[in-house]
A = this chain, B = another copy of it.
Amino acid sequence: MSHFGSGTEYGLHCLILLAQAPGAIISSRDLAELQGVSVYFLAKIFPRLEKAGIVTASEGIRGGYTLARPADEITVLDVVEAIEGRKPLFECQEIRGRCAVFGGQPPAWATAGVCGIHAVMIRAERILHDELARTTLSGLADGVGRKAPPGFETDVQAWLADRFESRAQAQIAAVKKPRPRRQNET
């Protein structure tokens, strides 16, 4: 297994989609089905992104998620920490104080400050975090956009708009009122 779970991959891909459609409201179901991942699983990770202030949720029919701030103000680190939680790289259990030569009463110098091993880990963790914070969602979205042919992004938007409309039409079918509607596309 890897250190980051698959939720991080799903989440980041979803957020790139949201970044490519600024202002659009997309439901977690549509995002899941567009990408072929579990609807239920994605529905579990989005509340974490909301609590972290990365996306905002709108409830009710036609509800869904939007980025809570501009895509260039959301870093990969923000997303990883929101989804994985703030797991430290290393958790010191202060075994240095348990050394048998101290006989249960470690002297002050032995437990003062941070253990050398722990210090290395703290430094490594900060460097890792700095690197992850260097890339933003807009940076990622640009990379994807540069790679795909020009028609692709509009295809995706069309797929999502289709989904969005089919929800409106379900209402029309049920209530038997004319006039479908299309809005957004900021």
Interface residues on chain A, number (Cβ under 8 Å): 55
Q: Is A87 an interface residue (CB 8 A)?
A: yes
Among A33-41, A164-172, A177-185, the one that faces the other chain is A33-41
**Nearest B residue to A120, CB-CB:** B135
Among A3-11, A21-29, A63-71, the one that faces the other chain is A3-11
Interface of A is mostly: helix
A153 to B87, CA, bound (A): 34
> Please, what's the 1-or-0 string for A106-147, where 1 marks a CB less than 8 Å from any CB in chain B?
000110010011011101100110011001000010011001
A100 to B144, CA, bound (A): 16
Q: Is A148 an interface residue (CB 8 A)?
A: yes
Q: Is A55 an interface residue (CB 8 A)?
A: no
> Please, what's the 1-or-0 string for A140-166, where 1 marks a CB less than 8 Å from any CB in chain B?
100110011100100110010000000
- Is there an interface contact between B143 and A116, defined as CB atoms closer than 8 Å? yes
